[in-house]
Amino acid sequence: MIRREVAIVGIGQTGYAKALPSTAWELAVEAVLAALADAGIDPADVDGMCRFAPPFEPVSEPMLVRALGIPELRFFAESPLGGEALGAVIAHAAAAIMAGLARTVVVYRALSQSKGGRFGRADRAGPSGQPAAAPSADIVVPEEDNRSFAWPYGLMSPGQLFALWARRYAAVHGLTDEDLTTALGSIAITQRRYANNNPAAMMRDRKMDWDDYRSARMISEPLRLFDLCLENDGACAYVLTSADVAGSLRADPVYVLSATQTLSPYREPMGIYADGELLELFPPATAGRLFEQAGVTRQDIDVAEFYDATSYMPLRSLESYGFVPDGQAWRYVAEAGTGPGSPLPVNTHGGHLSEAYLHGMNGVLEAVRQLRGTACNQVAGAEIALVGAPAGSAMILAR
């Protein structure tokens, strides 16, 4: 059990922008140094690192060891599958600390899409030089051959795949086009309002109302421009240590209650060939494990930071994590909402749609701020936060 054995004691980030002059390496160093300063820890005391695996994370551990002057890195680990690594990297860090393999572990994520290519591209390739969104592949089928089953049919980018899911959701649950538009727009507009009050958000000065949302160009029906995440440069980092050490570093450590990760056949990122329920975003059994290991219920969650590559994902996440019955989230977001006065405030920093896109890492930082009581859109009395990504990757944090 991870529950309250380790804590986040420092968070750091760079500025976010469509294009920044710094390289991903420089951005990573800036974010890590900010997180260490926030924790009051000298870089020389770092002995562990966790990151997303290449090609998603371009900055390697040796690059940071050299840049930060770390004398010895005793533990380092990486997790594949992009945003689905969100729960894995914190679980790796927690396991290393609890096993005595490391005392101070840094988790980081850096993006320089302006120099390496955009994840949302559908013409040739993403940042890695690989297809922007290759479908799930059987291990014996080369990826370039597998693409031939998706690309000719318009499934070349994440946005196009998510549009397919959103359309299926509407078909399965009997939504009209207006129902779906209202649900997705409610999420996008609410998150923009959060971002308008967040000085770090890319969309802080860009207000949006229903006329703006509805008149935006259609990217991949039914997803409009404002239903898709931003494309940007930037970096985030956080620092973990044992609960015993955390108490000596600061008065407000944020404890890890649980972290989950799962992978089942044909459920790879953006998979469209899975057997059974194609709408499943987060396996129910994994969600149950997440709450059971944390020792809390869904009613205990004060704020949620859901992965939102598109506005459809928070909508479905409300159902997949068990906050709203299946097929009812579209009505819930239209009536109860996800804003400050809602039963469950969601993506209070603006999320990927309106703050920045950092593969869920900026959601972790926002959860920490909420639990410290220092968030721009502070949820009163927030004590427990959920940070969730697709495919069983999530964490529950508490003050």
Angle at 386 between CA 235 and CA 279, to 5 degrees: 95
Residue 199: asked if its preceding bond is cis (omega within 30°), the reply is: no
Catalytic residue chosen out of the listed positions 307, 312, 321, 332: 307
Catalytic residue chosen out of the listed positions 16, 169, 321, 357: 357
| Residue 307 annotated among the catalytic residues of the structure | yes
What is d(CA 39, CA 10) in angstroms, rounded to the nearest whole number? 4
Contacts of 351 (CB under 8 A, 6+ apart): 191, 194, 195, 229, 305, 306, 308, 314, 363
- For residue 278, the SS3 value is coil
Contacts of 28 (CB under 8 A, 6+ apart): 59, 63, 64, 108, 110, 235, 237
Dihedral, CA of residue 208, residue 211, residue 217 and residue 221, to nearest 10: 100
Alpha helices in 45-202 (DSSP H): 61-68, 86-98, 113-116, 143-146, 158-173, 177-196
Q: How deeply is 105 buried, as exposed, middle or buried, from its count of CB atoms within 10 A (0-12, 13-18, 19+)?
A: buried
Question: Measured between alpha carbons, how far is residue 304 from residues 167, 203, 338 in Å?
Answer: 25, 20, 10
| Residue 321 annotated among the catalytic residues of the structure | no
The residues that are catalytic are 307, 357
